[in-house]
Structures are given as structure tokens and as C-alpha cells.
Structure 1
Amino acid sequence: MATSFQHAVWFEIPVTDMDRAIAFYEAVFETELKRQEMGPLTMAWLPSEQGQYGASGTLMLAESYVPSHQGSMVYLNTDDIDATLGRAEAQGGKILNPKMSIGEFGFVGHFEDSEGNRIGLHNTQ
């Protein structure tokens, strides 16, 4: 059966306090986010490289976006799940699931961010 689905290309992580969320994600992932205003939307883009594997995404502040543990969960790649979970906790986040093996597919871990979202981490080592 033919399908029109190819792969995920974009994700948005809801936030209620953009400054707090930017500070949290920049500290946890040791990177810089690029803040963008688009009409009523305020975004902070997570780093990505054009043409590289994986979806791009943003933190999103808008009236209809509500942080939650419910619904879809985004997995972000990291070189060191334990260190990333440690930084999340040090920034006021909560470790939900420590690093665990998923067999031949690598490892995962989960944390709650500064806004109350459930975020997954993944790496292959």
C-alpha cells in the first residue's frame, strides 16, 4: 500500500514564559536558541543544520499553546543522556526516567522541562 508519509519535519514545544524556557534549554543543551517574533507568535528555534538527519523545531509561545505531559512527546538527540538529564535537573527540571537501553536502537531518558512538558532524550551510544 502506498503512503504519502515520509518523515517528521517540524515540532513545537509549548511554553508559558519564553525567557525562562530559553534560559532552561540553552543551559540544558549547552547551545544558543534564536528568538523570532512572527505576528502573535514568539518562537525560539532550536539549532539544526539544513540537509541533516532529523526534524527542526522551536519553543512556541502563543495563546493556544499549553505545556503538558499529555499528547505527543518530542525526543531530542544528545551526546550524553546522563549529563543532559543532570543539567535539566540543575535548572529546575525533573528527571522522569533515567537513561535506559532500548536495545539496538540506543538509549533514552525523559525529563520535565521548566514549562511542564515531558521531553525525551535519545542517543545511540
Structure 2
Amino acid sequence: METNMVGWFEIPVVDMERAKAFYDSVFEISIDIHDLDGLVMGWFPNAHDKVGTSGSLVKHSMYQPSDTAGPLIYFSCADLSEQLGRVESAGGTIMKPKTEIGGGHGFMALVKDTEGNRIALHSVA
């Protein structure tokens, strides 16, 4: 296999500006908004020369946020405590606090974003 299995992800949103503000705040990034003929996308920053993938927030009638259904996306962090500490002030909810995974696999936490999506944070520290 020449590349990682996952090449892109899309997170459903209801309010693009609210979702952008949440992710910009929690991860200290700047998401770029693009309207592709009614499919509104908020592209996460992409470091083409780094390991991993990028993705987008997506606003369209065929995308529905959920905190129980669908895939769970894990965002890699140096120490997830930093991002977790910004979740509530950005309008999100902590569903599961920082928890050791075990077996030397680091830590994880579950978060609900402002749109009602369940996402996860992961770090080795």
C-alpha cells in the first residue's frame, strides 16, 4: 500500500459559520469556506508533505450531523488536553474526558461539536 487508506473526510454541519468558529477555536486553525454550487465546504488546512489526511466541513441537505451514527473521526493532537480545554468555550460538549486507551496507544476523548457531531481527540501524551 502506497498511501494511507483514508484520503479525505467530511463532517456534516447545519450552520457553517458556527461550525467554522468551533473548529478554528478548538484547533487554533483557519478553515477556508467554499461554495460549490450549493454544496458549502469548509476545508481544513492541509499539509501536503505531512502524514495523514485532510477533510472538510460540509453543509448540504444530504448531510446530517449525528452524535451516535456514522463513522467516528479521530483528530490527532500533541496533548489532547489543550484542545479539550477549548471545547466548551467554543460551544461544544465533552462527552468523554481524556481517557487512557491502554497498551501504549495513548489517550482519547469524545466531543460533541456545535453541530451535534461526535468527534474524537487522540494523543500519545
TM-score by length of 1: 0.90
> How do 1:12-91 residues align onto structure 2 when only pairs under 5 Å count?
12-69=10-67, 70-91=69-90
Structure 1 window deviating more from structure 2 (11-20 vs 48-57): it is 48-57
Task: Give distance in 2, aligned partners of 1:45 and 1:109.
Answer: 23
| Kept in 2: contact 1:82–1:98 (CA 8 A) | no
Provide structure 2 residue ranges, at least 5 long, that are not aligned to the other structure. Answer: none
Provide, for residues 56-91 of structure 1, a one-character-per-residue CA deviation record: whole Å limited to 9, x for no partner. 110000110010011111111122212211211111
Provide structure 1 residue ranges, at least 5 long, that are not aligned to the other structure. Answer: none
> How do 1:95-110 residues align onto structure 2 when only pairs under 5 Å count?
95-103=94-102, 104-110=104-110
| Kept in 2: contact 1:15–1:65 (CA 8 A) | yes
Deviation of the 1:20 alpha carbon: 0.5
TM-score by length of 2: 0.90
1:123 matched residue in structure 2: 123
Task: Give distance in 1, aligned partners of 2:85 and 2:23.
Answer: 13
Q: Which runs of 4+ in 1 moved over 6 A?
A: none
Structure 1 window deviating more from structure 2 (44-53 vs 109-118): it is 44-53
How many residues were matched structurally? 122
